[in-house]
Structures are given as C-alpha cells and as structure tokens.
Structure 1
Amino acid sequence: MRGFLLAIASCFLPCAVAAQNTLTIAAQSAPTAMDPHFHRANSNNAILRQIFDPLVDFDNDGRIVPRLAESWRAVDDLTWEFRLREGVRFHDGTPLKAEDIAFSFARLPLVPNSPGSFASTVRTVKSVDILDDRTIRIVTSEPTPFLDAELTAVMILSRQLHENATTADFNNGRAMIGTGAYRHVSYEQGNRLEVEKNRGFWGDKAPWDRVQIRFVSSPGSRVAALLSGDVDLIDGVPTQDVARLDADPRIEIFSTESNGTAYLFPDTARDQAPFITDREGRPLARNPLRDVRVRRALSMSMNRQGIVDRLLAGQGRAAEQFASPVAIGRIPDQAPIPYDVARARALLAEAGYPDGFRMTLHGPNGWFPGDTEVLQAIAQGFTRIGVETRVEVLPTATFFSRATNRDFAMFMTTYASNLAAITLQQVLATRNPETRMGPFNRQHYSNPRMDEALLEAMQTMDETKRNALTAEAMRIAIDDVGVIPIFYPKAIWAGLKARVSYDPSPAWYTNALFAAPVDAGRAN
C-alpha cells in the first residue's frame, strides 16, 4: 500500500500538468470532410485551420494578417507578390516550397463532389510565377482588389505529399499532414477529432499539448457536458441558456457580433419547383417564387425582431440586407425590412394567389442554435398570410448535398464573410462554373443588373468607388429579393472559467487556436 501511495504521489504533479495541457471542446457541427479543399463551410474551415495554414488570414478584428506568407504587396493592378516564411515545414518534415502554392491553387477546382467549391477564390489567377524559393508573383486576368482577402480561405498543401491525395485519404488520416500549430492524431467521422501540439511549428507554440474536439449536435448535451466538467469549452450556446450560464460562477461566456447572415434562399429560376402545390396538393402551373411580389410577401410575413427577441433571447440582430454589420462594403443606413401581414396578403393576391399555396421549407438541423425553432416561426408567418408551410430539417451533410442538387423550393442556411462583395459573389452572382462565379448560388438565381454592378466593384481598385458599387449591387439584390435575409447571429461560446479563455471569432470558428489556458492565480 505504501508503494502504491508513493507511486500516486510521484505521478501527481506530472499527471496534473498533462491534464492541464489537454483541451476538450464540444462543437455543434462536424466537418463534412477533412479535405481542406472539399467544402467551403465554417465547420470545416474552423477545424482544419488547426492543422493546415493559408498564406494570409483574417484575425478576429477583421484585419488580414500574415500566416505562411510573411509579407505581400500589390505590384500593380494585375500582379501581387508574396514572400513566404523561411524554414516552414510540414508535420512530417517536408519543407514548404513556392511550388506548393501553385499546386494548391490548381487543386481547388479538381476536388470531386464538392458541395461548396473553393475554386472561386482563385478565379482570376492567371499564373503563379516563382521568383525564388520564397517569393512568388501571382498574375491575375483582371484587377482583383480582394485577392489577399480571397486567399485567406485557401489552405496550402504540399505537391510532394498531396499530389495524388483524395478526399478519402484526408478522411482516413493518411493525408492529414499540414504546417499548422497542431498535428492530426485521429478522427472518428461525425464523432471526434484529436490533435496534438506541433513542436516544429513556425509560429508561437501552441499552449495545449493535446486537443479533443467532440461533435455534439444536441445543444442540451453540450451544456450538460460543460456543467459536469466533462468538457472545457462549448460552442453554439443555446440562446435561452446564455443568461443562466453567465450567472453561474464556474462559467464564462465569450461572444461577438458574427460576420454571418441567416437567410432563406427561394427557387427563382425554375418554372416548376419541388415542394410547392396548391392548397389541395395539386401541382401549380407556375412556380410562384419566380414572382417578386410573392417573395416580397414572404419577406414581409417574417417578424424578424420577434425572432431575435423571443427565439434568440436578443442574441442577434434583425437583418435588413444580406451582409452582416461587420462586413465591409454593405449598404450604409439601410432601412429595416417591414413586417406587414396585411400588405403581404395583398401582394400575394396581386400576384394571382389570393388563396395562397402550400410549400415545404427546408433547413439543416444543428447548424446554429435554435435553427429548427426559427424555421418553425418563419413557417407560421408564411401560413398566416396564406402560404401553408411545413418544415423539414435534415442532418447538415445530407441537407447541403440535397441543396446543391436543387432538391428544395426554399431553404434556410447561413453565409459568413468580412466583405459584402464576396457574399454577393459567392451566393447571388449568376452561377458560372467557367468563371467560377456563384459557387454557393444553389438556387441558380440570376440578375444581370446586379452582376454588372458587382463585377465592376470586384475590378475596382479604388476603395471608395468599390464600396459604392458593392452597395449598389446589394440594393438591387435586396429589392429583387434574391435571398430573404432573416437575422445576423451572435457567435457565442461558454467555457469553464478556471480552465480556459476564448477569443471569440466573428467567423464562428471553434478551435484551439483561439483558446488559452487560464492562469491558476487569475482563476482563483
């Protein structure tokens, strides 16, 4: 017994240190794949940024900061120069080379079955010229003022390591070799990811020796895991629980205005849309969502402020345009979208639907806190004006696959960007695989007037003129109700006060890069 106690005593200090250096997170959304070029989704980007690096990145204050590139500049309207850091190596010791940048760019449009391609980020890149081992020049086919911002989305792979790697190779761990602050240890699809400190990292050393991220879609289960001390940090805090958790002396809330918008995307492109019938269940002769009056009526039926106040407990802001308040280039001082049931009914009647119609509204389950409740509230508003609406929610991977296949008449999702022009270019620009415009335009919306203003904005190097053109494009899109903005979510995390502090990410990124151990003295 004495020997056993001595063994425990000798282990106590190192074991305690090891436990202190392990971070455990319960995250709401699992990645749809571990391939960093497969799906431009926040859940994927957040997780994979721990393992892979971009050339440059946005910090949590919205500034573009160096990552694998230590410096960069616009040489002229068509040329950008990037200087790579010296001595960067992938986790297996393979050195980062200038040719890896060209390889990574070229791979983006080649990833099969992508539900949201990264290819549009390099749509204007004409060539990547290697000046020396650490210097590249990117030549574009047209002026591209947002190129550095676009490249924040592209994580860099190695030609030597990843030239023949498939998405399956990333999912099973064989290709999970990056330059990031953490190394891949294991991944159980949809269940958990484990990473460990990269002791050869080029930047500041990670404070956590090991990180476990559990994917827990149930908000109640995430909260319960935090309160029991089973995890150190959770994201997607249920809005109705924020006040209760904030009052708990063991818990700290970390929140910020997000750069995202929750919105509805109606099918305006097809004469016949799925999940729409008359009130008797018979097919309609024409898709009613093609009529702007119907779309305006649906938008007016939504009590946005009521959704924010009652369903989100004030943890958000009613949307009046597509880009969030933190996005650059949005419309300044845009008037709120009116909530007017009587006018909405009149618009339906003007459009030829005095008796309304039936529709199913789709959305992902567990994408953001309260998403199903928000869908139900919207459906009630639609039904109130005569559009009898039912709700169907799906697991995120299934939902996004079906949305990309155009299986829905109207669906709810979110989009996040620090730039209003990029939001429009990704979601509402006329979809064109050749020019890589509109990769997230899943409903194939098209408005030539908006395209014209947006394309001019995206080629204008003068910031003042560019922002004015972006705002013009936004006005056209909102007036045409190409999408129906609902609200701007607040990004909220909760952590054990004695264990972890968190720098809240406007991009909703949940990972160990923003988490720091709490000093024992401060915790006490």
Structure 2
Amino acid sequence: MNQFLRFSVAAAALAAATFSASAENVMRWGSQRDILSLDPYSYGSSFTISVLNHVYEGLVRYDDKLQIAPALAESWEVVSPTLWRFHLRKGVTFHNGDPFSADDVIASFTRVSDPASPLRGNLPAYKGAKKIDDHTVEITTTPNYPLLLNDLTNIVMLDKKWLVENHAEAPTDAGKGVEGYATTHANGTGPFKVVSRRPDAETVFEVNKAWWDKPRHNIDKIVFTPITSSATRVAALLSGEIDFTNEAPLQDIPRLRATPDVKILASNELRTAFFLFNRKDKLVASDVTDKNPLNDLKVRQAMYEALDLDALQKKVMRGLSRATGSMVAPAIPGYTEAMDQRPSHDPESAKKLLAEAGYPDGFSFSLVCDNDSYVNEEEICQAATAMWARVGLKADLDVGPTSLQTAKFESGKFDVGILGWANEPMIDSYSILVQVAHSKTGTSGVFNWGSWSYPEVDGLIDAAGQELDRAKRLALQSDALLKIKSDVAFMPLHQQPMVWATGPKVESMVQLSDNKPRLWMARMK
C-alpha cells in the first residue's frame, strides 16, 4: 500500500473513531517515522524511547527544566562510593493492574544490563542491584561514578510478573531483528497505555486514569501515525487530520508560519550530526582492496576540507542548523570553544592531502545514510557526495530507512556514515565519549561501529568515569574530545534544528532542547 493510500485509510478510520467519541480530547500526532519497537530496551534510539516514555517510566526523570526529579523512586542516597539506595514510590501499578515493587526493578536492571541488550551502554557503571525490601533497592556501581541519576532517566521499569508470564525476560534487539513478546506488547506505569499497534501505520495510546502522578495534560487519547512524506505530513496538519508533528519540514516553515492557527516551535536541539569512518583493516566497498585509506589522517583531513559546511547550513538546512566543529553542543558539559574550530572549505588543499597520502586520483567507498532518522539527512549525504566528487572521492551512496541501515552500521558493513548524538539521557559529554569514542570493551563503545581505538582517549574517559569533582571530570572529558578532534576521528557537521508544528486544537506544548515530545505536559483546547 503506498504512503498516501495508507495515510488516507488511517485518516478515515481516525475520523470515524473521532465522530463516535466526540467528547474525547484526541491528540493526533504525525511523525516522519515509526518507532522501532514497543520494547523500550530494543535499541538506543532517542526517538523511540521518547515515544515510549509516554508508557514506561524510570526511577527518576527530567522535569520541564531538564533537572533530575523523582519518578518511581521517591528518594535516594549515596551509601558508599559504590552503593546507592533508592526508596520506591508506593501504590504504583502497571497498566495491567500489577503492583510495582523492588522485584520489578531488579528484573528490569537484569534485562537491560544483559550482554545482549542494545541499551546496556546506557548503564556504563552498573555492577548489580539488590532488593532490600519491597520498596527499597540498592544499586552497585563502579567507584565514585558521578552520573548514575542521569543514566537512570532512560532506564524504565518493566513488570517482572508480566515478563515471566510472556517469556520476555530476554532482551530484544531491533537492530539485529531479534524480537519477542515485548516487541509488540507494552505494560508500563506511565501516563498513557498502548491499546493498539499496527507497525508503520498507527499506534494508539489511551490515558492511564490510574497514573500515580497528577496529570498536567487533558488528553484522552494519542493517535500516533508515521507519515514519511513531508508534503503529506504538512497537508495533514493544514487540513486538520493531525494536530501535531515533531518533524515539520524545514522548507515548509514559511508556509506554516503564514497559516492562521498553526504554531511553530523552533530551536536547535542538543544533537550533533557527524560523519564517522569504518577504521577496520579494509573498506567494505572500495577500489582500494589492500588497505583502508580512512586510517590515514591526511585522508580524513582531506575529506573534511572537501566539505563546505557553510553551504550545507545555508542550502540543505535552510539556515536553521548550527554549523560546528565540535562533537557536542555548547549546552553539553565538557564543551569548550576550542572544539568549535573547523577546517576551511579548501578543495585544492584536499587534493594535495590525498596525493600526499598516495591517492592522487582519489578512491571509492560506500556512504550509508538513513532517509528517516536525522533532519534532511538524505540531502546532506547527496550534497557531501557531490563535494567529495570534486576532489576525486567517489562515494557510493546507499540510502534507506533506519530499519534497514541500522543492521549495516551494527555489523560494520559501511565505510562512511552519519550518526547523530544528543548525549541523552546523560546530557553530559561523557555519554558520547563512553558510547561512541571509547574502544569496544564491556559496556563501553556500544556505538563504536567502525572499530576505532584510541588508548590514550580511553584512559581519559575511564578516569572521568570515576571522578566526583565536576571540574576535574569535565576537564578530562574536554581533553578527550580535543584529542579525537585533532585526529579527525569524526567529522562534526552541525547541531541540527528541531521544528515542531501544532494545529488549532492544541492549546499548549512543552518543547525542551532534548527534542523529546512530552504530551503529558500538553493541553488541548
């Protein structure tokens, strides 16, 4: 079924449902992409997790000022350099009526920290958890780890009884196609519960009237519809078929701003988009077969100098992104102004560097990009392909949906690709350092897709992970970021824009710099 027909069928069904329940406040959310799974541990996708945060909750959460606040844990204390004690909220129930207790916390940590869990990297210092009583849990970490609470904002609680009854104790992995009961079913404690799901078509959430917290929202139902076509998504907003999109196309902002009753919420988010390299012994698809040219610093410098970041910012990103040389946004702890320096666009210098490296005629390589993950990613990759071609670098562009491209990245079947990193849930540069820059060891380097390794950088990261003095910790992290910058380990492009749009039925919407919709903070008219 084509995109337009699928959307029309979904819209017709929605119209009928709305007519039969006209008293309901229905938030119709149109997104560029679907979530990867109903399992919140299935993949480290900020977007998937942000949608599932309407269903599942952690021990702590970020409030509307991005400050850590109690959630399923009412309070906590640090018992020793390696031990934290959490006191759980009483009277909380899962959507199926099961009571929330310490057993669920232990089962959740066991599942998310499993070696097969794609989200294990979100708990880099976790060693174990112990039940003290039904409402008290102790968590053991590596010594003096300073960011446990930040990590826990993204580690949600699942119902142990529900997991066992449905043989879902083992983690799933959306990137590797490993599925289970939790892939298609959900049972959280959050403000909304899943009542139906048709992947790539529609997911319906209804308000959880038994939610432990006092609702700020007045929404009875959320109808989440992936609409991959930008034109169709805009048309749906303007016609009133959807009420909200978290991905308004950049090229349509002037038109939307000029439309009565349509409100635009726009800013730059925390996420930095960057090119990354496969650093294995040989490339996946290249006319150079005896070695990997990307392991030569001069080649990486040439590739960066061949990119015109100002042109990408003005033309591809419509002037709304923030071009940068830094792997982290200025708001992320660990950032320094020195990181923002970037090479000038200099094709002649790039050609000279390639010749010095032994590739006067350039070489070919694969460029793997998504078409539904980051803002205008396909257009970025098309523009970069043209820029590289001018210096003799021949990129074989491979564009596809995240559901297909993720497996290529995880298996290392790419030469160059794009990754976007918002440093969530930590909101700290330790996130990108331990998960992306660190060598792949244990829970570190989960997103080290190209097998790069910098032992000196690893040492700085490991030291930062045990430093309680914030100033000293951030100095270590800044040093690590500057070292990978000097070696052009990655090619930062920009902090990407976030543009949301709401229709006339939406009264208020909270937009934070982590770019996560929080509809439990929204209100309908």
**1:403-414 paired onto structure 2 within 5 Å:** 403-414=409-420
Task: Provide the rounded CA distance (Å) in 2 between the counterparts of 1:152 and 1:169.
Answer: 24
1:69 aligns with 2:73: yes
1:379 corresponds to which residue? 385
Report the CA distance shift for 1:390/1:404 in structure 2 as closer, same or farther (over 3 A): same
Deviates more, 1:385-394 or 1:38-47: 385-394
What CA deviation, in whole Å up to 9, does each residue of 1:368-425 have, x standing for no partner?
2311111111111211222122322011111001111111111112122111111111
Contact 1:27 1:510 in 2 (8 A): no
Contact 1:266 1:443 in 2 (8 A): yes
Deviation at 1:497, TM superposition (A): 3.6
Contact 1:77 1:461 in 2 (8 A): no
1:32 aligns with 2:39: no
The SS at the match of 2:180 is helix
1:284 corresponds to which residue? 289
Deviation at 1:511, TM superposition (A): 5.2
The SS at the match of 2:289 is coil
Task: Provide the rounded CA distance (Å) in 2 between the counterparts of 1:395 and 1:13.
Answer: 34
Task: Provide the rounded CA distance (Å) in 2 between the counterparts of 1:343 and 1:203.
Answer: 59
2:49 corresponds to which residue? 45
Residue 355 of structure 1 aligns with an amino acid whose one-letter code is D
2:309 corresponds to which residue? 304
What CA deviation, in whole Å up to 9, does each residue of 1:475-524 have, x standing for no partner?
11111222211111121110114434321132332352343214xxxxxx
1:181 corresponds to which residue? 191
Task: Provide the rounded CA distance (Å) in 2 between the counterparts of 1:359 and 1:13.
Answer: 54
Contact 2:283 2:365 in 1 (8 A): no
Match for residue 204 of structure 2 among 172, 194, 200 = 194
1:141 corresponds to which residue? 142
1:491 aligns with 2:502: no
Deviates more, 1:492-501 or 1:364-373: 492-501
**1:62-461 paired onto structure 2 within 5 Å:** 62-110=66-114, 117-163=118-164, 164-165=167-168, 167-173=179-185, 176-205=186-215, 206-268=217-279, 270-277=280-287, 283-338=288-343, 339-417=345-423, 418-432=427-441, 435-461=442-468
Task: Provide the rounded CA distance (Å) in 1 between the counterparts of 2:292 and 2:19.
Answer: 68
The SS at the match of 2:23 is helix
Task: Provide the rounded CA distance (Å) in 1 between the counterparts of 2:285 and 2:160.
Answer: 45
Task: Provide the rounded CA distance (Å) in 2 between the counterparts of 1:73 and 1:332.
Answer: 35
Contact 1:253 1:494 in 2 (8 A): yes
Report the CA distance shift for 1:192/1:15 in structure 2 as closer, same or farther (over 3 A): closer
Deviation at 1:177, TM superposition (A): 0.9
Residue 489 of structure 2 aligns with an amino acid whose one-letter code is G
The SS at the match of 2:404 is helix
Task: Provide the rounded CA distance (Å) in 2 between the counterparts of 1:511 and 1:343.
Answer: 47
Deviates more, 1:130-139 or 1:28-37: 130-139
Contact 1:364 1:371 in 2 (8 A): yes
Structure 1 ranges of 4+ moved more than 6 A: none
Task: Provide the rounded CA distance (Å) in 1 between the counterparts of 2:65 and 2:396.
Answer: 40
1:480 aligns with 2:487: yes
Deviates more, 1:444-453 or 1:386-395: 386-395
Contact 1:37 1:111 in 2 (8 A): no
Contact 2:510 2:517 in 1 (8 A): no
The SS at the match of 1:273 is coil
Residue 48 of structure 1 aligns with an amino acid whose one-letter code is L
The SS at the match of 1:334 is helix
Task: Provide the rounded CA distance (Å) in 2 between the counterparts of 1:392 and 1:127.
Answer: 41
* Aligned-pair Cα RMSD in Å: 1.9
1:280 corresponds to which residue? none
The SS at the match of 1:276 is coil
Q: Provide structure 1 residue ranges, at least 5 long, that are not aligned to the other structure.
A: 1-11, 278-282, 519-524
Task: Provide the rounded CA distance (Å) in 2 between the counterparts of 1:15 and 1:484.
Answer: 51
Contact 1:118 1:153 in 2 (8 A): no
1:3 corresponds to which residue? none
2:3 corresponds to which residue? none
| Aligned-pair identity (%) | 28
Contact 2:204 2:222 in 1 (8 A): yes
Contact 2:460 2:480 in 1 (8 A): yes
The SS at the match of 1:503 is coil
Report the CA distance shift for 1:307/1:13 in structure 2 as closer, same or farther (over 3 A): closer
1:6 corresponds to which residue? none
Deviation at 1:13, TM superposition (A): 12
Deviation at 1:194, TM superposition (A): 0.2
Task: Provide the rounded CA distance (Å) in 2 between the counterparts of 1:14 and 1:44.
Answer: 30
Deviation at 1:35, TM superposition (A): 0.9
The SS at the match of 2:91 is coil
Contact 2:142 2:466 in 1 (8 A): no
Task: Provide the rounded CA distance (Å) in 2 between the counterparts of 1:363 and 1:119.
Answer: 25
What CA deviation, in whole Å up to 9, does each residue of 1:30-84 have, x standing for no partner?
1221111111102210111111101112335332222111222333322222221
Report the CA distance shift for 1:22/1:48 in structure 2 as closer, same or farther (over 3 A): same
Task: Provide the rounded CA distance (Å) in 1 between the counterparts of 2:246 and 2:255.
Answer: 15
Residue 92 of structure 1 aligns with an amino acid whose one-letter code is N
Deviation at 1:27, TM superposition (A): 0.9
